[in-house]
Each structure stands twice: as C-alpha cells, then as structure tokens.
C-alpha cells in the first residue's frame, strides 16, 4: 500500500529543531578528545546483558519511520509481529527528532558510562560516527545477525566510520541528488546547471545539511566525497559561494523545500530521495535527477549504546528487520532506500509500482554513482561546518 504524502518526513526532521549550526555548539560542549571522561573504551565501560532473563527492549527511533496500521495509528504491525514471534516486549519511542538534540539527551550518561534507558537507537551516519569515535557504542555479535550478514546491500557493508559494520546496521538509507518541477522549468542534468543556468537564477534551493550539499559539489568537481582533502573542500565551497553571491540560490533549507517545489515557487533544488517519492504521489511534474557526477548515499543506523542491558534482544530485533518479508513491509510505508537484499521481490506482492521504484530499490547503475560522506574527526567537523555555515549565512 502506498503511503500518503506526509507533511514532515523523517529526513526533514533531521534539520527541524537544531540543524547543522547546532553541531558547532554541541561539538564544543563535549569534545571527544578534550573533555575528561567523555571518551570511553570497551574495557573501561563494560555492559551487562540481561536478555536471558528479561524479555524486553527499549527502541528509540525517528517519528514516522516505521509502518503503522491504517485503521489504528497506535499499532505498528512489524513490531507487533516481532513481539508475537519472540515474546520480547518492545517499548518503541519516537524521541529522535534531530541528531544533535538527541545527542544532548544522552551525552552526559554515555560520557559517564551510565545507562540511557535505551537498548537500540537510530542515528544518521555522521552522528553514528561521532558516537563510535567517542567509544559509546557496543560491538555487535555477528553470530546473532545471520540475516544481516546474508542480506545487507553490498554498497552499505563498509563505511569509513565503521568498517565491516562491527557496531552499526542500517535501518533505512536515502540519496541526496537534484530535483526539478517540469511545469516551471526544462530538464536539469548537472549540479553546475543548477548553480549557474540563467533561467534558474533565484529559483533554486540547496540543503542546509553540509554533507548533502557539499558532497554533491565535491562530486561535481570530480572529487570523491568519501575521501577528500581540505583544499578540495575549499574549492567546492568557493563554487557554492559564487552561486550564493550571484543570487542563483534563493535559500538553504531543511525539507521545507519540498512544498515550494511542489507549488512551483522554486524550479529546482538539491533534494532528498524520500521527499521526491512522496511528492510524486500527488504531482507527476516533480522529477528526480541523479547527476552523472554522482549522488550522495546516507543511512540511518541502528546502534546499541553502552550500558544497554538488553543487547541480545536488540540484536534479535535487528536481525528480524533484515528478513526480506519484514523489510518490504517497512519500506512500503517509509519509502526510503531499503538496505535489504531480497526485499524487492517481496515488495512485488505488496505494491508492484514501489518494487520498480529506483529510489527505494536502486539498480547497480544508480548505486555505482552513490558515495557516502567521509567520516570526519572532531577538528574537521568543527572547521568544515564553520566554513559552510559562513557561506550559507546561518
């Protein structure tokens, strides 16, 4: 069943309350290499697993990021089926409204090797990277994750912040690329067109998330956003600044660009794939463009924090969502890239149109152009964000 256009998507919530600018503040309040007690180690912060005697787990996720019953929004069919199958009671909480905001909720406990009351949480790549860097995440037992080992997409198996996925497993993924409204402009194909074409002047938006916008600009300059130098970043930033100074870019946004694009108030933009799918349900003029130079690939990742007391139960839930049948049910509702091999065939039984959608099940040609953003150390994170925020006027 196709999900209706929702007024605020999970990806949009990522910038909804604090956004990228808050990174500068939170990074300063808990410097991973500078604040005594912030950094933890596996040996120094041991966790006790009570899963054998306590059949429960606490799961923190983003709003509107799981399937719900059409007749009763309080019911979550895949979670309910997991409970029925395993006897593990799941306390499911939609309390991850923004990566930085959530970091603020848990940083004191995790920095002090104290329990957060959560056994599983879902955070975006860059925040997962930060928490892993700080030593706040428990290593997963791969012997308890056979579905993950068998079915995780090859393109998501190795990431710079967590080689071989020792500590994280993707919940859902998405692409950052370009979109345009064919009712108000002709086709666009490249990032350079977006930033320089005269007929688009003042009718373009870009994302206020540094990794999405700068990743695409790095690719447009022929650089790899998963492995770049400061000089290459500065070169791409200079290109962005020229587009800002010339008036080509109207503004930088979270996912509020989607309604402007839908109405034709803007002609083209840097976008998130999940938004474009949802807009496409009501407006056939909205077109997604994967530039030949490349697209950005990001994931929201399941993580077990230190001092979580039901790690094995959390691993059982992670493994459950990598059953292709379950993964297809979830993807049919949330409409982001499904990270599970075999789910596309199962989606055929639910919604054949969604099964053919390359923004949920990208083909190899699309994935071959997709790159994640490079994992940054603490200094790079501060420096690059400060430069970007200055250019976008945040």
- Distance, in Å, from the CA atom of 294 to the CA atom of 175, rounded to the nearest integer, reads 10
CATH class of the domain comprising 56-172+299-360: alpha beta
Radius of gyration of the chain (CA): 21
Residue ranges per domain, the chain? 56-172+299-360, 174-297+375-392
275 vs 210: CA distance, rounded Å: 18
- Calpha distance 129→375 (Å, rounded): 7
Burial status of residue 155 (CB atoms within 10 A of its CB: 0-12, 13-18, 19 or more): buried
pTM greater than 0.95 (yes/no): no
Question: Along the 394 residues of the chain, how does pLDDT read in single tens digits?
Answer: 333 334 445 454 444 434 444 445 444 444 444 444 589 988 899 999 999 999 999 999 998 899 999 888 889 999 999 999 999 999 999 999 888 889 999 999 999 999 999 999 999 999 999 999 999 999 999 999 999 999 999 989 988 899 999 999 999 999 999 999 999 999 999 999 999 999 999 999 999 989 999 999 999 999 999 999 999 999 999 999 999 999 999 999 987 899 999 999 999 999 999 889 889 888 999 999 999 999 999 999 999 999 999 999 999 999 999 999 999 999 999 999 999 999 999 999 999 999 999 999 998 888 889 999 998 988 999 999 999 999 999 6
Same fold, 56-172+299-360 and 174-297+375-392: yes
Backbone torsions φ then ψ of 223, nearest 5 degrees: -105, 160
What HEC string does 227-282 produce?
CCCHHHHHHHHHHHHHHHHCCCEEEEECCCHHHHHHHCCCCEEEEEHHHHHHHHCC
Nearest to residue 271, comparing CAs of 292, 245, 247, 253? 253
* CATH homologous superfamily of 174-297+375-392: Periplasmic binding protein-like II (3.40.190.10)
């Amino acid at each position: 069943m196709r999900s209706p256009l929702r007024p605020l998507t999970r990806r949009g919530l990522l910038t909804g309350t604090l956004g990228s600018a808050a990174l500068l503040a939170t990074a300063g309040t808990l410097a991973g290499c500078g604040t005594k007690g912030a950094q933890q180690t596996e040996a120094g912060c041991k966790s006790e697993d009570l899963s054998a005697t306590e059949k429960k787990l606490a799961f923190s996720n983003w709003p509107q990021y799981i399937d719900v019953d059409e007749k009763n929004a309080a019911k979550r069919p895949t979670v309910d089926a997991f409970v029925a199958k395993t006897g593990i009671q799941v306390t499911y909480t939609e309390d991850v409204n923004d990566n930085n905001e959530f970091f603020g909720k848990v940083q004191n406990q995790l920095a002090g090797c104290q329990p957060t009351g959560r056994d599983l949480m879902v955070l975006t790549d860059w925040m997962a990277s930060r928490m892993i860097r700080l030593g706040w995440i428990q290593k997963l037992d791969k012997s308890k994750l056979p579905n993950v080992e068998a079915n995780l997409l090859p393109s998501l198996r190795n990431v710079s912040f967590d080689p071989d996925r020792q500590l994280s497993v993707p919940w859902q993924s998405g692409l950052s690329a370009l979109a345009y409204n064919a009712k108000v402009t002709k086709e666009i194909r490249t990032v350079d067109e977006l930033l320089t074409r005269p007929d688009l002047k003042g009718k373009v938006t870009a994302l206020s998330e540094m990794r999405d916008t700068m990743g695409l600009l790095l690719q447009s300059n022929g650089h790899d956003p998963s492995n770049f130098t400061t000089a290459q970043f500065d070169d791409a930033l200079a290109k962005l600044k020229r587009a800002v100074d010339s008036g080509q870019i109207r503004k930088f946004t979270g996912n509020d660009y989607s309604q402007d694009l839908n109405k034709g108030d803007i002609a083209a933009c840097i976008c998130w794939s999940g938004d474009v799918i949802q807009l496409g349900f009501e407006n056939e003029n909205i077109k997604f463009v994967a530039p030949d130079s490349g697209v950005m690939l990001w994931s929201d990742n399941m993580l077990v924090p230190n001092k979580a007391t039901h790690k094995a139960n959390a691993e059982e839930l992670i493994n459950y969502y990598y059953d292709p049948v379950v993964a297809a049910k979830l993807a049919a509702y949330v409409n982001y890239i499904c990270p599970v091999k075999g789910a596309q065939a199962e989606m055929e039984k639910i919604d054949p149109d969604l099964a053919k959608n390359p923004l949920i099940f990208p083909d190899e040609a699309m994935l071959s152009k997709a790159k994640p953003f490079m994992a940054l150390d603490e200094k790079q994170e501060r420096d690059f964000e400060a430069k970007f925020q200055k250019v976008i006027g945040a």
